[in-house]
């Protein structure tokens, strides 16, 4: 298999770039929750500026993938590898945006005292991080069994999100003066839920890569 060695080399470099972007997105979510819990405004600002770096990395991945399509004119699975590289990098970029939005909520909340952050956000975040990990392993090994597992975890995140929102609504009734705080909590929960959704998109991309058809993991 000497043929198209260069193409395979470039494809695997692209894969490496996507995996590293995924790890950075993971870190960003982790940090965004840390900043939220600690009400660390400096950290929140760092997260916001770091997110622009992720945006640039996404653009670079897109450029590389488009160049490979133009130069190598791949077909079948090779073509789908590049198509999903475009999709997955876009999902990762959006995941970074969700982490950034949590940082923005942190800034909105300010250094107010006496606030408690809903502990279930940490549980949601932990599952979301597990989902990134799973989706990126599924991507790395082109493993549809791993990809399919995302669906179950996403259901779990969705139900936790529903639970948090119910509690928040009740709290607005009892503590109307805390409305700003409660809203930012609810937004943050929503951002984590969206973050997790994007990992199911990555899973769907893997299914598309392997099966050549579009399947839904997020129903």
166 binds other proteins (CB under 8 A): no
The contact mask relative to other proteins for 63-82 (x = CB under 8 A, - = no) is ----------xxxxxxx---
Q: Of the candidates 1, 70, 145, 219, which one interacts with other proteins according to CB under 8 A?
A: 1
Interacting span for other proteins (CB under 8 A) from 1-9, 15-23, 129-137, 164-172: 1-9
Least distance between other proteins and beta carbon 2 (Å)? 9
Binding-site size for other proteins (CB under 8 A) equals 14
Q: From CA 210, how far away is CA 133, in angstroms rounded?
A: 19
162 binds other proteins (CB under 8 A): no
Least distance between other proteins and beta carbon 205 (Å)? 15
Q: Which lies closer to other proteins via its Cβ, residue 65 or residue 189?
A: 65
Q: From CA 159, how far away is CA 164, in angstroms rounded?
A: 9
142 binds other proteins (CB under 8 A): no
Least distance between other proteins and beta carbon 167 (Å)? 47
Q: Which two tokens stand for residue 52?
A: 């622009």
Binding residues for other proteins, rule: CB under 8 A, are: 1, 3-4, 7, 73-79, 211-213
């Amino acid at each position: 298999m000497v043929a198209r060695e260069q193409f395979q080399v470039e494809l695997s470099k692209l894969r490496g770039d996507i995996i590293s972007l995924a790890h950075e997105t993971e870190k960003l979510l982790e940090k965004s929750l840390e900043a939220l819990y600690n009400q660390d405004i400096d950290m929140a600002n760092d997260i916001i500026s770091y997110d622009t770096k992720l945006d640039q990395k996404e653009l670079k991945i897109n450029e590389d993938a488009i160049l490979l399509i133009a130069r190598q004119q791949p077909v079948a699975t090779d073509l789908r590898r590049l198509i999903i590289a475009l999709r997955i990098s876009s999902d990762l970029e959006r995941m970074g945006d969700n982490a950034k939005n949590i940082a923005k909520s942190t800034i909105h909340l300010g250094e107010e005292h006496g606030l408690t952050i809903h502990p279930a956000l940490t549980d949601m975040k932990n599952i979301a991080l597990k989902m990134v990990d799973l989706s990126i392993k599924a991507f790395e090994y082109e493993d549809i069994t791993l990809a399919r597992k995302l669906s179950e975890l996403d259901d779990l995140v969705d139900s936790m999100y529903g639970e948090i929102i119910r509690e928040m609504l009740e709290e607005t009734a009892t503590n109307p003066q805390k409305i700003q705080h409660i809203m930012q909590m609810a937004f943050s929960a929503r951002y984590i839920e969206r973050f997790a959704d994007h990992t199911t998109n990555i899973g769907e991309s893997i299914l598309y890569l392997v099966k050549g058809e579009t399947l839904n993991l997020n129903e």
